[in-house]
């Protein structure tokens, strides 16, 4: 890759000749690591014109650098950083001379706290039982590429390049309103839908609009770790309600609650489903105690065992439920495209908040997704995922039973993961570390749980990213490692 001529600037205060200064600029770039062996330097003519000096001055500087083996020449091809050039020195981090007391200067802290961690190179592992990553063997790359190219075409140029201010792609909004939501039993006008940068961004906006330091949010325990961080940052009062086999128990919600966050169709991470009777009771409590409900309906498309229950919002007659959906789960996590559905006054405030922070999600991604959805590619992809997950689920069920692992929760309608319970005394964080050395990836449950008594007992096994043939051998390794840890405890 050629080195840009714009990286060179002369210093009027430099004490020395122009030739010496050019030599120092090039040598300094090599010693700092900015210019690397094999990279091409600007031609003497181009650099001389850029710096406003004579060409012979640049040529003499280059020749001196060649004599010191900083540069090499390839005839008419030009000058290159020599393969024998001195390597940048390994400098240990210097102590900061910053006089700011950052422990006092930082007003809000966003770091810290337990989060789900996935190695970036997870595809190198033989047995990746991790959640939410795209399986390249299932994704329709060709049609996604064609839709992306179509969204870049002349016909879409105005919508792609214009300043949309706070508006969303009308084709995407129309598809969500007329196709996606009715499948969940939800009817919504276009002014009741807002595109978000994924479901987590939707949760954040809902918390920002609805919560203050004086208000109380109630959420499930265990829950999605990102939600706990969002509520902590909002500085609201927070109440954790332990879930049971039917999800969130409405009778445990304190009456002072202002907003409830729940995953009724597919509880995260236990995969339990809230029965219709309990959903109606939750709505009754919301009306009686005057609180709102944020429904995160992630993964509803992955219902391959039997049809999914209707969304909580579809049963809502008072406008108390705000619905969150996402395309990132079924397409790919890097897409970061979701949506909020709620009463127009709420969406108006959420839209204003989004506009102040990021204007709107990239229009090109919205239009590409709109084409992918409207041309039928999305439904075809979902069918392919359902079939593949159904096969993997069948193999997973058999393997878990064969090797005697304990399932604490599994989606009744499908999904892509199991919530597992380790034997007493087995620390799932340590289990995950030991399995990683054997090319097995699992997700310890610490990040999901609130209570100290529970956080090291559970772990999540997902089958969305692992090939069918690898499931049984991987489960066997997990069972073997658990047995080894149990034998060490007995000793």
Residue 93 clears pLDDT 60, i.e. is over it: no
- Residue among 411, 479, 403 at smallest CA distance from 442: 479
Average pLDDT over residues 344-369: 90
* Calpha distance 434→478 (Å, rounded): 10
Residue 290 clears pLDDT 80, i.e. is over it: yes
Kindly give, in sequence order, each residue whose CB lies less than 8 Å from that of residue 178, ignoring residues fewer than 6 positions away: none
* Calpha distance 36→1 (Å, rounded): 10
Q: What pLDDT shows up at residue 181?
A: 92
* Calpha distance 354→287 (Å, rounded): 28
Q: What pLDDT shows up at residue 303?
A: 72
pTM for the model stands at 0.78
DSSP letter (8 states) at residue 323: E
Share the mean pLDDT of the chain: 88
Chain segment 415-431, per-residue pLDDT in tens: 889 999 999 889 999 99
Element (H, E) at 80: strand 79-81
Kindly give, in sequence order, each residue whose CB lies less than 8 Å from that of residue 158, ignoring residues fewer than 6 positions away: none
Chain segment 196-235, per-residue pLDDT in tens: 998 899 999 999 999 999 999 999 999 998 899 899 888 9
Q: What pLDDT shows up at residue 82?
A: 93
The residue assigned the tokens 């190198």 is 124
Q: What pLDDT shows up at residue 127?
A: 95
Chain segment 94-142, per-residue pLDDT in tens: 555 668 887 778 777 776 666 677 788 888 999 999 988 878 888 888 9
Residue 413 clears pLDDT 70, i.e. is over it: yes
Q: What pLDDT shows up at residue 351?
A: 93
Chain segment 299-353, per-residue pLDDT in tens: 777 777 777 788 999 999 999 999 999 887 777 777 889 999 999 999 999 999 9
Q: CB neighbours (10 Å) of residue 171? A: 18
- B/e letters for 29-68, b = 16+ CB within 10 Å, e = fewer, are bbeeeebeeeeebbbbeebbebbebeeebbbbbbebbeee
* Calpha distance 489→491 (Å, rounded): 5
């Amino acid at each position: 890759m050629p080195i840009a001529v714009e990286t060179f600037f002369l210093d009027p205060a430099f004490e020395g000749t122009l030739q010496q200064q050019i030599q120092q600029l090039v040598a300094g770039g090599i010693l700092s690591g900015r210019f690397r062996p094999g990279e091409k330097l600007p031609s003497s003519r181009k650099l001389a014109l850029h710096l406003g000096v004579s060409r012979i001055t640049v040529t003499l500087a280059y020749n001196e650098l060649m004599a010191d083996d900083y540069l090499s020449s390839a005839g008419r091809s030009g000058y290159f950083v020599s393969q024998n050039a001195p390597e940048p020195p390994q400098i240990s981090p210097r102590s900061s001379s910053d006089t700011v007391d950052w422990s006092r200067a930082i007003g809000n802290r966003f770091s810290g706290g337990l989060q789900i961690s996935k190695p970036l190179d997870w595809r190198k592992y033989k047995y990746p039982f991790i959640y939410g990553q795209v399986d390249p063997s299932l994704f329709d790359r060709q049609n996604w590429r064609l839709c992306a190219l179509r969204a870049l075409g002349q016909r879409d140029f105005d919508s792609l390049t214009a300043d949309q201010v706070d508006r969303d792609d009308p084709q995407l909004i129309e598809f969500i309103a007329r196709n996606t939501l009715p499948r969940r039993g939800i009817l919504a006008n276009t002014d009741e839908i807002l595109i978000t940068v994924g479901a987590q961004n939707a949760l954040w906006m809902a918390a920002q609009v609805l919560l203050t330091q004086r208000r109380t949010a109630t959420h499930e325990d265990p829950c999605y770790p990102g939600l706990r961080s969002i509520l902590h940052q909002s500085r609201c009062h927070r109440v954790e309600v332990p879930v049971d086999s039917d999800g969130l128990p409405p009778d445990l919600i304190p009456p002072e609650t202002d907003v409830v966050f729940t995953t009724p169709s597919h509880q995260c991470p236990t995969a339990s489903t809230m029965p219709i009777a309990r959903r109606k009771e939750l709505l009754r409590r919301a009306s009686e105690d005057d609180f709102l409900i944020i429904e995160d309906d992630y993964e509803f498309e992955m219902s391959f065992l039997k049809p999914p229950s209707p969304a909580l919002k579809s049963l809502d007659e008072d406008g108390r439920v705000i619905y969150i959906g996402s395309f990132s789960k079924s397409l790919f996590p890097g897409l970061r495209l979701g949506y909020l559905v709620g009463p127009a006054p709420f969406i108006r405030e959420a839209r204003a908040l989004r506009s102040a922070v990021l204007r709107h999600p990239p229009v090109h991604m919205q239009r590409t997704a709109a084409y992918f959805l409207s041309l039928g590619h999305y439904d075809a992809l979902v069918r392919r995922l359902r079939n593949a997950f159904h096969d993997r689920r069948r193999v997973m069920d058999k393997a878990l039973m064969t090797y005697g692992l304990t399932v604490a929760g599994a989606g009744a309608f499908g999904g892509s993961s199991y919530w597992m319970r380790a034997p007493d005394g087995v620390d799932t964080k340590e289990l995950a570390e030991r399995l990683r050395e054997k090319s097995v990836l699992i997700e310890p449950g610490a990040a999901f749980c609130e209570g100290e008594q529970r956080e090291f007992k559970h772990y999540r096994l997902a089958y969305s990213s692992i090939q069918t043939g690898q499931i049984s051998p991987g489960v066997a390794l997990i069972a073997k490692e658990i047995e080894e840890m149990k034998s060490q405890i007995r000793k």
